[in-house]
Structure 1
Amino acid sequence: MEISDQDSSASASQTEGELEMDEEMDGERDKKHMGSLNPSLSNNTTTLRAVIRIKMKYQAMKKRRRELAMALEGANALTGAPTRTSPKIFTFDSPTLSSFPTLSSSVPQRRKRRKKKRVLFPNRRGARAPPKQEHSPVKYCLYLLLAIVFIQVYNAIENLDDHVLRYDLDSLEKTLRREVFGQQGAVGALLSHLKEYLSTYIHNKPLLVSLQGPTGVGKSHLGRLLAGHFRSVVGETLVLQYYVLHHCPQEADALHCARNLTALISKTVNRAVEEEKIPLFIFDEVEHIHKEILDALWQLLASKQSNEYLNAIYMFLSNLGHAHITKHMLHNSSSVFMVTSASGHYSKFVKELAPILRSTLETLHPLWTEAEILPLGLLEKGHVMECFLDEITREGFYPDHTNIERLAGEIEYYPEVGGRKYSRTGCKQVVAKVNLL
């Protein structure tokens, strides 16, 4: 190791001596050349000559150092000594990673940081461009879904209307308002129940409507009109009119009548299911009905045996609770003005009488807990005259107003209350008196 150090120092000193000798020789040459040149040109080219001289010296030094480095590498390879690197000097060449392998490997490279995008704000002086609205395909799916729902709802409404139109309730309303006198409020309430029930085919319970009223106010006539209309729209076999005094007059036959009635209702209901229609069962003179028949009807109405028995309309016509109706109308004649013709007054009339009638009817049988109770009011003298006019026209007689007023005067009335006279028998005796003409 000592020998190699001495050799390197000797070579370095030798190199410096040679460099000095070269500089002296170059200086002498420059002086001679300057003397031979024109003084004016020498002043202008001084800088150029200095640059050329420096470049030539640098190239000579670079060549000698390269030769010296090669000689040292050969000597180290023979002796096994580690190589020495030359000191860092100024050069005109740009350094590369291959020139400094140890430095590039030892110094860790810095990770390049991603430059964040600058947020550019619009120039306030200029016009701001509106943001672009991106059209998402989800919007079109939403529009399609809304259109489908709308079509389904519209079809459902159309189906409801078609089902109601099958029963032709508009024609029924015209008939009842023309044929039934003095009960316009009750007719409107009845049609409202029918329209609401017949708007759909599937129900959770049957419709039971109980029409209560005094004698001669038009209960049986209303039942006949309903039966005739439904026979024309749903068929003869899907309408049952049951007169208690005619079909089961004896109480001893009540159990047998109940069985026959249950079988008849089942047969009618099954036929209605096949035709997808709602049957109508009208029970007149219910005040004379036997308990066994009411129990059989209660089983059909309240037990909910199957869906078939839930799609049916039951109509009860009776004079049960007529005393409460008569008393209420005579004592409140001023507050029930036009009760039989105005729907608003009739609603108040039903609201006052329905709880009293329901409590009375529930004591007879729990069947009325499921019923919609509609009371029919007393008929005034003007209503009785309308009954006479209609019956006289039907029989083909000339409608003489004087004769009609005379016949109406022969009917028995309650004492006049509030300027109105109510008939005790309603239009019950109208047919008999017209037949005597």
Structure 2
Amino acid sequence: MRLRCWLLFVVCIPWSLSVTEGVEPISTSIAVGMASAVTWFLVSYQNMFYSFSECCKSDWISYNKTGLKHDLQTKLFGQHIASQVILKAVTGFMNNKNPKKPLVLSLHGWTGTGKNFVSQLIAENIYHKGMSSSFVHLFTATAHFPHEVHIDTYKTQLQEWIRGNVSICARSVFVFDEMDKMHPGLIDGIKPYLDFYDNLNGVSYRQAIFIFLSNAGGENIVQVALNFWKDGKEREEIQLKDLETALSLAVFNNKNSGFWHTSLIDKNLVDFFVPFLPLEYKHVVQCGLAEMAAKGITRNEKAVEQMAHDLNYFPKEERVFSMQGCKVISSRLDFYI
């Protein structure tokens, strides 16, 4: 567990003065001057320390709504619903000085559609160090909780980790990847920290953010997108209401969802189920060009288009939606360049 960012100073000043009538005025002045100088030094040194070492302070934690809006509009492709929901949800929560509960977002969709990337964008617009911040905690089900026989141990360790880190910094973010592979008992283990409590054992979790990433419900999202395409409707016509209810029911009733019959859903602790639509060819090209720019590579649209063309799409004949999304762009791009 990371320790709180703080300094302990032990300063020993030899005081040869005593409060007696024999104390000379000039000696008293020197003593007062020394005390003031030491105080100034300690304050200055502490501020200098904070400027180099991350702390739970506004210098290191400051929400940038404009930055998040810009990132979602220019870096996240083909996700008009997710962009709108994420921006409103995070902004409303961060601007609320006294939230009733932590913000809980559940992001759903096929791999490569941008769920992990959105988590990164949120972190980068709250924390100076982004995902590298000591106040951002990422858990992956298969890596951190691989063995079902150890579920009780995992549950205890996870609860202690959340409690300890929120005690250090109330404005903490916890990202849980592969929620569809997480044991329901482990998910229920974090329920108390998501609920409407003032505090638990003296710790308030109301300023924390919990983000769940899952492939569960992806089939339902794809089917809605496919139906809109078959009906000749534009992708941008799909609204949250077209997906949210079906998505939450599918996740709750699917034994492979991770959320299956957990109290997170029936207690309404998830604030938003955010659907990520399957990406089309044009979105894959956009991802490729963005990746090329991020790597500092000279723009080469022909190479990116060829790479995007060679990926797998469905339906097989029409090749409308990418099966890999932007997941493999970074590694594939090197080959085509």
TM-score when normalising by structure 1:
0.55
Q: Contact conserved, 1:230 with 1:239, CA < 8 A, in 2?
A: no
Preserved CA contact (<8 Å) 1:237 1:268: no
Which of residues 374, 379, 382 is equivalent to 2:279?
Answer: 379
Q: Kindly tell me: are residues 402 and 435 of structure 1, through their superposed partners in 2, closer, same or farther at Cα, counting changes over 3 Å?
A: closer
CA 1:294/1:187 → structure 2, altered by over 3 Å: closer, same or farther?
Answer: same
Indicate yes or no: 2:161 matched with 1:264: yes
Superposition pairs of residues 135-284 of structure 1, within 5 angstroms:
166-232=62-128, 236-273=133-170, 278-284=171-177
Equivalent residue letter for 1:177: Q
Q: What corresponds to 1:294 in structure 2? A: 187
CA drift of 1:272 comes to 2.3
How far does residue 211 in structure 1 lie from its aligned partner after superposition?
0.8
Larger Rg: 1
User: Per-residue deviation at 1:385?
Assistant: 0.5
Q: Which amino acid aligns with 1:248?
A: F
Deviations 1:340-371 (Å, cap 9, x if unpaired)?
xxxxx45xx21021111111222302313321
Name the CA distance, whole Å, in 2 between partners of 1:305 and 1:396. 48
Alignment match of 2:240 (pick from 342, 345, 350):
350
Q: What do residues 262-283 of structure 1 show as CA deviations (whole Å, max 9, x unaligned)?
A: 111111211224xxxx222111
Correspondence for 1:414 among 311, 314, 318: 314
Aligned residues: 262
CA displacement 1:53-105 (0-9 Å, x = unmatched): xxxxxxxxxxxxxxxxxxxxxxxxxxxxxxxxxxxxxxxxxxxxxxxxxxxxx
Per-residue CA distance 1:166-211 (angstroms, 9 max, x = gap): 3112112222322211113311211101111111222222211111
1:404 maps onto 2:301 in alignment = no
Quote the Cα distance in structure 2 between the aligned partners of 1:264 and 1:178: 35
Q: Is the 8 Å Cα contact of residues 230 and 280 (structure 1) preserved in structure 2? A: no
| Distance apart, 1:303 and its partner CA | 6.8
Q: 1:434 aligns to what?
A: 333
User: What is the deviation of 1:326?
Assistant: 0.8
Please give the root-mean-square deviation of Cα atoms over the aligned residues, in Å. 2.5
Percent identical = 25
Question: CA–CA distance in 2 between the matches of 1:201 and 1:416?
Answer: 51
CA distance in 1, matches of 2:242, 2:297: 42
- Deviation string, structure 1 residues 377-425 (Cα, Å, up to 9, x no partner): 11111000011112223334332222221111101111389x8821122
What is the one-letter code of the residue matched to 2:309? G
Matched residues in 1 for 2:281 and 2:320: separation? 6
Separation of aligned partners in 1, 2:232 and 2:244:
17
Does residue 394 of the first structure (1) align with residue 294 of the second (2)? yes
* C-alpha spacing 1:391/1:305, structure 2 compared with 1 (3 Å): same
Measured after TM superposition, the shift of residue 338 of structure 1 is 3.5
Q: 1:250: how far off?
A: 2.0
SS in structure 2 at match of 1:332? helix
Tell me the distance in 1 between the aligned counterparts of 2:144 and 2:97.
30
Partner of 2:234: 337
Structure with the higher fraction of residues in helix conformation? 1
Q: Deviations over 1:308-352 (max 9, x none)?
A: 02222111111111111111111122465142xxxxx45xx2102
- Structure 1: where are the runs of 5+ without partners? 1-161, 340-344
- Shift in alpha-carbon separation, 1:227–1:166, aligned structure 2, 3 A: closer
Structure-2-length-normalised TM-score: 0.71
Among 411, 425, 433, the residue aligned to 2:324:
425
CA distance in 2, matches of 1:228, 1:411: 30
Give the CA deviation at 1:233: 7.2
What letter matches 1:434 in structure 2?
Answer: L
Conservation of the 8 A alpha-carbon contact between 2:304 and 2:333: no
Query: 2:225, 2:235 within 8 Å by CA — same for their partners in 1?
Result: no
